[in-house]
Amino acid sequence: MTSSSPLTASAAAPLLCIDIGNTHTHLALHQDGVLSGHRDIPTPLLDDPAQGLPTVLAALRGPTAPAGSSTALSIAFCSVVPAATPRLLAAASAAGLSAWQLTHEVRLGVPITYPRPAEIGQDRLANAAGAHALAPGRPAVVIDLGTAVTFDLVTPVGGYEGGIITPGPALVTRYLHERTAQLPLVTDLQTPVASVIGKSTAEAIRIGAIVGYAGMIQALLDAVLAEYAARRLPSAEIFLSGGAAQMVQGRLRLPARVVPDLALTGLAAAHALNHR
């Protein structure tokens, strides 16, 4: 488990925001409008007593808090791993904490006009809530580059309207390795590409993943923005989130706002809307 800064609570009522993903669970403490202490926990270790959420909750509650006692700390979470949800709830309950889940049935700040809202990943709804919180009243395109690459499309009238899903770059490189006899597994998708002429098999795969993926993202973005323009919508705010956001940012033709913790921002905003 890694952290960018210590995860500690102060006097103001804190909110622990948790985004349970397929590979990793991302969390940070929201307090006074600021997210801090970002951590990643491998989702299979979410409730591990030594490496998972119980250690985080124990640190936040402090060493003198008796087991089962309540605290001002609350939890807001979203999950795309249904089996992990009861594990989080059990860990929260053991610490004497309440946990609020973002679903399609809560207030997000924008309506949902998607025909089957229960099918929408909760992380995508959190992204929509975050986009609205950061760019209220504007159309938004949220591109989340994780295990899967998702586009979430938000408009002033339709709210959350739908999106696009495609496999993420790491899935593609892993698939090439697993489905071929000689292609190596390439995991470095962060180092910038200096030349598009690969001088090794691994380098050729990296170029395809990094440069090719940015081209696919741009093509999809062009199609979305063309549809927005045909509907005479104002200019859209473009958000990039997820682990591969920086990889794509410099290769898009339009400026995009990188917000790695957009889902956590959306969790905090939606929690505030639903607890007034």
pLDDT at res. 211: 87
pLDDT at res. 62: 60
> Is 237 in the same domain as 154?
yes
| Domain membership flag for residue 265 | no
Report pLDDT digits (tens) over 241-252: 987 777 788 888
Report pLDDT digits (tens) over 102-126: 999 999 999 999 999 999 999 999 9
**Which of the residues 19, 47, 123, 152 is marked catalytic?**
123
d(CA 143, CA 169): 13
Q: Is the pLDDT of residue 260 over 70?
A: yes
Is residue 15 within 8 Å of residue 75, measured between CB atoms?
A: yes
> Is 152 in the same domain as 216?
yes
> Is 6 in the same domain as 56?
yes
Could you tell me the CATH number of the domain that includes residue 30? Answer: 3.30.420.40
pLDDT at res. 84: 97
> Is 88 in the same domain as 179?
no
> Is 143 in the same domain as 229?
yes
pLDDT at res. 12: 57
84-110 in b/e burial notation, b at 16+ Cβ within 10 A? bbebbbebbebbbbebbbbebeebbbb
Report pLDDT digits (tens) over 200-225: 999 999 999 888 888 999 999 999 99
Q: Is the pLDDT of residue 64 over 80?
A: no
| Domain membership flag for residue 111 | no
Report pLDDT digits (tens) over 8-58: 444 457 999 999 998 899 999 999 899 999 999 999 999 999 999 999 999
| Domain membership flag for residue 222 | yes
Residue 146: pLDDT band by 50, 70, 90 thresholds?
confident
| Domain membership flag for residue 120 | no
123 assigned to active site: yes
Query: Between these two residues, 192 and 112, which has the higher pLDDT value?
Result: 112
> Distance between the two ends of the chain, CA-based, in angstroms?
33
pLDDT at res. 5: 43
Is residue 236 within 8 Å of residue 139, measured between CB atoms?
A: yes
| Domain membership flag for residue 12 | yes
pLDDT at res. 9: 46
CB count within 10 Å of CB 125 equals 26
Report pLDDT digits (tens) over 160-186: 999 999 988 888 899 999 999 999 999
Q: Is the pLDDT of residue 190 over 90?
A: no
pLDDT at res. 140: 97
Residue type, 192: P
Residue 159: which domain range? Answer: 138-260
Q: From 115, 150, 109, 112, select the one nearest 132 (Cα to Cα).
A: 109
| Domain membership flag for residue 114 | no
Report pLDDT digits (tens) over 125-142: 999 999 999 999 999 999
> Is 96 in the same domain as 159?
no
Q: How many domains does the chain have?
A: 2
Instruction: Report the percentage of the chain scoring pLDDT > 70.
Output: 92
Helix (H, G, I), strand (E, B) or coil at 11: coil
